[in-house]
Structure 1
Amino acid sequence: MSKEVKPGRVLVVGSINTDLVARAPHLPRPGETISGQEFSQVAGGKGGNQAVAAARIGARVAMVGRVGKDANGAQRVKDLEAEGIDCAGIEIDAVQPTGVAMVTVSDDGQNTIVVVAGSNGEFTPEGVARHEAAIKASDVVVCQLETPWDSVHATLALARRLGKITVLNPAPATGPLPAEWLPLVDYLVPNEVEAAILAGLPVESQSGARRAALELQRGGARNVIVTLGAQGAYLLPEGGEGMHFPAPQVRAVDTTAAGDTFIGVFAAQLAARQPLEGAISLAQRAASISVTRAGAQPSIPTRAEVESAA
């Protein structure tokens, strides 16, 4: 991080997975068996990915979550520590295995993902309470929905009580959020599919993103950012006018973790007290680099790479 920018503290509370990735010419249709071209096993999980993205852009990052007492869990913690991430908040589950995501990536860069929660599913509100000191020490607290919803709500509520900036990436979204959630969220960052599910409105364009963002803001979210893939992102700030941010044009190889890269970099910029528009632009540049590379965490760029691509 440049001398002019003081890095802030980002706490990511969420999922840690091992990704089992198969590359194939196209995504299989129901009942179809196809031949894959390549297989890899890499670090993943939305929480872990977002923590790595925040760390590589220059934030001081801590991770709270749960892994199994197995080889995957030990390796995931080792991977995060290698990024300089404080892993004191990662608990070991003696019963459930480390979470796994089975990912298929097509030649055009699209993917399908099946997640088996494993130890992520055992992260409870009591677990959140055990890590109050970590929340208190942070500037920004980031959550997703790959851990039980009651633990996510407990995290947002505790972070709000402690006066922290909260970022919620509502993924995967399966339906509208409980009414009491959105007032706890400073920055709600869904993609177009998630925004449509949360708002109950179609999101197929910038105007659709605006309508969904307005609905979610009426529900209590202070700021809403709808990421639109190759179409960029739409920001509806608290008390301000909406704004569209075009995405850099790149050739996508693998879109896995692009959204997580955006979230992590954006959170890091918030923690460093950087202007909102600049935070979104930097996050977009980082995400655009990530889609040109294969894998989840292996695709996430460093600050030097993002700045050199500007």
Structure 2
Amino acid sequence: MANVQREPLCLVRGSINIDEFFHVPTVVQPGETLSSTHFERRAGGKGANQASAVAKAGARVKLIGAVGEDGMHLVQGLRTIGVDVSDVVIDDSEPTGRAIIQLTPEGENCIILHKGANFLSTPPLLAAPDAHPGLSYTHLLLQNEVPWDATVAYLSHASSIGATTVWNPSPLPTPAQLQAFPWASLSWLVVNEGEVRGLLAALGAHAPGGAGGPVAQASALLQTLHAQRGFAAVSIVCTLGAHGLVALLPHNDTVHVPAAKLDGPVRDTTGAGDCFAGYFVAGLMHARELSPEDVRSALVRAVEAAGLCVQRPGAVESIPLREEVEKRLSSQ
């Protein structure tokens, strides 16, 4: 299908949160009370994070979501970094979504979400893109922090106009939702290894055994997932943390990209997955053709961006600019 406009535009229908970071020696255990050593409040939400990454990677991006009146500063911050927020709803009936994040000195985290305004269904644009007749875009990026019906409606609309569709199903939906999901409408699935195993279990598929190293195991998982009904035209990217990623591309080509080499310690992994997803979509947007070489180039840049991201605190604030990523790549 032809793209709907010449200049690529990514539409993100996603969440916008206030992230509240509690710095702790270790993640608190059941029955335990633990004092935090430091507290920070920052911009976050998977939709805001991913839209920020697309913008910082140098591509055009529009975010559709909702905040309460306590989130107006988040909208202004997104506008400042180049995200089109003209259709972000500011509502006085619900507070902005929250993420309560425990963060250890090693950069590991534990997150509790409160949906807040992210689950508003009015005005109608939040529920379905048909409410905006003039809405035009070439790429759609989705997560799973907004109402399920909205995610499916936006995916259906994007597929109908020939847009490239990318979904990062995090947090992982229920088995019933995954079984009913319109996989044939999806171009790219971006997941981690745990999510792949969760998907296979939800779809009633048996995960292959653990022979070989992490990359070989992930490749086998992707082949199994790709064999499920509806996945024939879906390309899959599986991130593997310190082992990089494995991607199953069109025509069954498999690509492995090693993890970025870090210059310093891991400080915060909260925004890394969203940074990767946004940079990857921006790479798809910049590519003239989606050859295996173009896709690999997009994946390499996304990995390097995520590598820079984890060495910084926060979510939106930790995402590097395109110039930083290019400088990093040119020095290798």
Same fold (TM over 0.5): yes
More off after superposition, 48-57 vs 167-176: 167-176
Amino acid at match of 1:130: A
Residues 43 and 131 of structure 1: CA distance in aligned 2, closer, same or farther (over 3 Å):
farther
Alignment check: 8 A CA contact 2:9 2:61 kept = yes
- The answer to whether 1:208 aligns with 2:209 is no
C-alpha change, 1:43 and 1:11, in structure 2 (3 Å) is: same
> Cα offset for 1:183?
1.1
1:220 counterpart residue number? 230
The 2-side partners of 1:77 and 1:98 are apart by 11
* Contact 1:7 1:58 (C-alpha < 8 Å) held by counterparts: no
Please give the alpha-carbon distance, in whole angstroms, between the structure 2 residues aligned to 1:255 and 1:84: 23
TM-score under structure 1 length normalisation: 0.92
Distance 1:285 1:25 in 2: 28
SS of residue in 1 equivalent to 2:141: strand
Alignment of 1:1-310 (within 5 A): 8-68=8-68, 70-71=69-70, 73-123=71-121, 126-131=127-132, 133-134=134-135, 136=136, 138-176=137-175, 177-200=178-201, 201=207, 205-218=214-227, 219-221=229-231, 222-250=234-262, 251-273=265-287, 275-310=294-329
| Structure 1 runs not aligned, ≥5 long | 1-5
Counterparts in 2 of 1:132 and 1:261: CA distance versus 1, 3 Å: farther
State the one-letter code of the partner of 2:302.
Answer: A
1:3 — aligned with what?
A: none
User: Which has more radius of gyration?
Assistant: 2
**Could you tell me which amino acid in structure 2 is paired with residue 287 of structure 1?**
A
Gaps of 5+ in 2: 1-5, 202-206, 289-293
- TM-superposed deviation, 1:97: 1.2
Q: Matches of 1:57 and 1:182 in 2, distance apart?
A: 27
Contact 1:189 1:224 in 2 (8 A): yes
Distance of 1:26 and 1:285 partners within structure 2: 28
> Does the C-alpha gap of structure 1 residues 18 and 52 become closer, same or farther in structure 2, counting only changes over 3 Å?
same
Task: Give secondary structure in 1 for the equivalent of 2:145.
Answer: coil
Aligned-pair distance for 1:132? 5.0
Contact 2:275 2:306 in 1 (8 A): yes
Distance 2:55 2:184 in 1: 28
For residues 14 and 203 of structure 1, do their structure 2 counterparts lie closer, same or farther at Cα, with a shift above 3 Å needed? farther
Q: What's the C-alpha RMSD, in Å, of the aligned pairs? A: 1.9
Cα separation, 2, equivalents of 1:53 and 1:223? 21
- Please say which of residues 190-199 and 14-23 is displaced more in the overlay: 190-199
Q: Is the 8 A contact 1:175 1:197 kept in 2?
A: no
Tell me, yes or no, if the aligned pair for 2:272 and 2:309 is still in contact at 8 Å: yes
Deviates more, 1:285-294 or 1:196-205: 196-205
One-letter amino acid matched to 1:142? L
Please report how far the alpha carbon of residue 133 of structure 1 lies from its aligned counterpart in structure 2 after TM superposition: 3.0
> Could you report, residue by residue, the CA deviation over 1:188-245 in whole angstroms, capped at 9, with x for unpaired residues?
0011221111122379722332233223323334100011111111100121221211
CA distance in 2, matches of 1:295, 1:63: 20
- Percent identity between matched residues is 37
| CA drift at 1:102 | 0.5
Structure 2 CA distance, aligned partners of 1:154 and 1:184? 11
With normalisation by structure 2, the TM-score equals 0.86
